[in-house]
Each structure stands twice: as structure tokens, then as C-alpha cells.
Amino acid sequence: MIDRYSLPRMRSIWSEENKFRKWLDVEIAVCEAHEHYGIIPKGVTDKIRSGAAFTVERIEEIERETHHDLIAFVKAVTENLGDEGRYVHYGVTSYDIEDTAMAIRMRESADLL
């Protein structure tokens, strides 16, 4: 996104921070579904939702080691979650998360237009 050709709200939608925020939203939605169907224990999603945190800087730091953006994201998000962290990204692929989050951001962009 070239800043001078974009509105602030559009830049916000396509920012790294928002990309990772949408990834987290999708990961939490997956946990909700897994919890609903008994795949993961009850109560885990609420603990993940309340404890999951990240910074873009920390994700970038981890990515320099892993050379994989989504693995870096998961590691950053789960660093302080304890045992519940093992259920983040459970049973999904990177593209399950990335493509879904991309669709959400595309919809947000279209709504803005």
C-alpha cells in the first residue's frame, strides 16, 4: 500500500498490525469451533482470547529465526499463554488462517469503497 495514494482507514486495514490481528481473530474462531465440537477442552478459548498478545516487532524478531511468518506469529502469540497455547493453530494449516484473514480484510476494503 503506497501511503500517498491511500486513505488512512485503508492503510490501517492493510497494515501488518491488522493482518496479525485478523490472523488472531481467525485462530480464536477456530478454537471456538473446536471447543463447540469437543475437540479441545471447554474454557480454553476464553483463556486464549484474554491472554493472547503480540507485537509486530516480536513477530518480526521470531521470523528472522524461523523464516516463516505464521510460525513466528503463533510463537509470539503463545509465548505467555501456558498450556492453552498448544491449542492455537491446532488442526489447521497456515493457509486456513491466512486466506480467511485475507478475505476478511478484502471485505473490509470493499466496504470502505
Could you write out the DSSP letters of every residue in 1-41? --GGGS-HHHHHHTSHHHHHHHHHHHHHHHHHHHHHTTSS-
Predicted local confidence at residue 2, as pLDDT: 77
**Boundaries of every domain in the chain:** 8-112
Q: Which CATH class is domain 8-112?
A: mainly alpha
95, 55 in Cβ contact below 8 A? no
Over residues 28-45, the pLDDT tens digits come to 999 999 999 999 999 999
C-alpha cell of residue 36: 463447540
- Spatial separation of the C-alpha atoms in residues 10 and 33, rounded to whole Å: 30
Over residues 50-90, the pLDDT tens digits come to 999 999 999 999 999 999 999 999 999 999 999 999 999 99
- Spatial separation of the C-alpha atoms in residues 5 and 56, rounded to whole Å: 24
